Chain A
């Protein structure tokens, strides 16, 4: 039985050009799986044999989260709330119900709560314990959301974290940080940008960023290029400042 010593795993050429990159001195090159890939395959085999999972269904879930489920769903909801006061009222009163009525989201795992940004209050969402996140409407969390620096600093120094994301708020703006749990998760309803009167929901939706629904960003300003709107675009990347190991 082969030993599981990862240290001996021969790294494959990163070019993946097997045509000439590898000498064939000792016969055909055999496959190598990473330690994590081995363990995941092991569990999947066991669960499949015991009829706990169906590999095809697993693939469908992965695909759905990679392509279908993402922050565009949340952005659609926000745009609708901006353009329809009746919907907004229902969204703030009972987010699960309101979102369920206008999207295909039907597997809400726990209570969703929408918190509204206003001229007085800015809301920001974190999960200090692990990474509870409204998957169904925002897709999977960005790496920085799961990182220890963000999880700890968001509560202690929200203004500093916002600064890292390029967001500066007036001094008198109250910042509320919401700590998600497995039972209650939060989505921020960002402020509707000025100068968007009369815009349709699809037009508005293009202004809603993922980070603006987590509260580490603001909605894009109309007419500005992506990167001008207070670093929102930058902050969308996984290298965002929140992930920097600042104590």
Chain B
């Protein structure tokens, strides 16, 4: 019985195109979906939650959205994902709903003063009279 060569699967994986991408399209339909996914992965690695806790909260979020009329066809999935993420960080004391809102508003302010096509950057002035700060 021959032992499995380490890396055999990997090598063949590298060699064969076709399977992964057929008809699949991009994994994330919009950049924010990828960012939301990566943030959850990172916070899990930092020990903020277990996947069991995550699955429960996400399931809860999806059920709530369905009850509210969301068709839950998968298109809105990352919205549920991100709602869950906001809830987790607020509940676990990483930040607060108020801070989230103040940063959201600041980003909107930043977008509205940035000409189309230029990178949008957040600066302290974008917070106006709210209390959030960035350096």
- Residues on A facing B (Cβ under 8 Å): 1-2, 4, 12, 18, 28-34, 36-47, 49-50, 52-53, 57-59, 61-62, 65-66, 70-73, 75-77, 79-80, 84-87, 90, 101-104, 109-110, 129-132, 139-140, 142-149, 181-183, 201-202, 205-206, 208-210, 226, 233-234, 236-238, 243, 245
Which positions 1-58 of chain B face chain A at CB distance < 8 Å? 1-4, 6-10, 12-13, 15-16, 18-28, 30-32, 34-39, 41-44, 46, 48, 50-52, 54-56, 58
**Can you list 16 A-B pairs with a CB-CB distance of less than 8 A?**
A1-B105, A1-B130, A18-B117, A30-B112, A31-B120, A34-B30, A41-B104, A45-B107, A70-B20, A72-B13, A75-B20, A148-B66, A182-B54, A201-B8, A202-B16, A209-B19
CB-CB under 8 A from B43, the residues of chain A are 47, 52-53
B 47-91 binary contact with A (CB < 8 Å = 1; else 0): 010111011101100100010000111110111001001100100
Q: What is the distance, in angstroms, from B61's C-beta to the closest C-beta of chain A?
A: 8
Nearest residue (CB) in B for A127 is B55
- On chain B, the residues within 8 Å of A142 by CB distance are 24, 74
* CB pair A65 B9 closer than 8 Å: no
Are B111 and A31 in contact, with the CB atoms below 8 A? Answer: yes
Nearest Cβ distance between residue B8 and chain A, in whole angstroms? 6
Judged by a CB distance under 8 angstroms, whether B113 is at the interface is yes
Write out the residue numbers on chain B whose beta carbons fall within 8 Å of the beta carbon of A139: 20, 27
Report whether B108 and A33 are in contact in the complex, using a CB–CB cutoff of 8 Å. Answer: yes
Beta-carbon contact of A52 and B105 below 8 Å:
no
Task: Using A4-B104, A36-B32 as known contacts, say yes or no to A66 and B66 having CB atoms under 8 A apart.
Answer: no
Cβ–Cβ contact A143 & B74, under 8 A: yes
Q: Could you tell me if B82 and A40 are in contact, using CB atoms closer than 8 angstroms?
A: yes
Within 8 A of A (CB), among B106-133: 106-109, 111-118, 120, 122, 128, 130
Partner of A66, one of B2, B27, B42, B62: B27
Q: What is the CB-to-nearest-CB distance from B17 to chain A, in angstroms, rounded to a whole number?
A: 8
Is B74 within 8 A of A72, CB to CB? no
Given contacts A66-B26, A238-B74, contact A47 B94 (CB under 8 A): yes
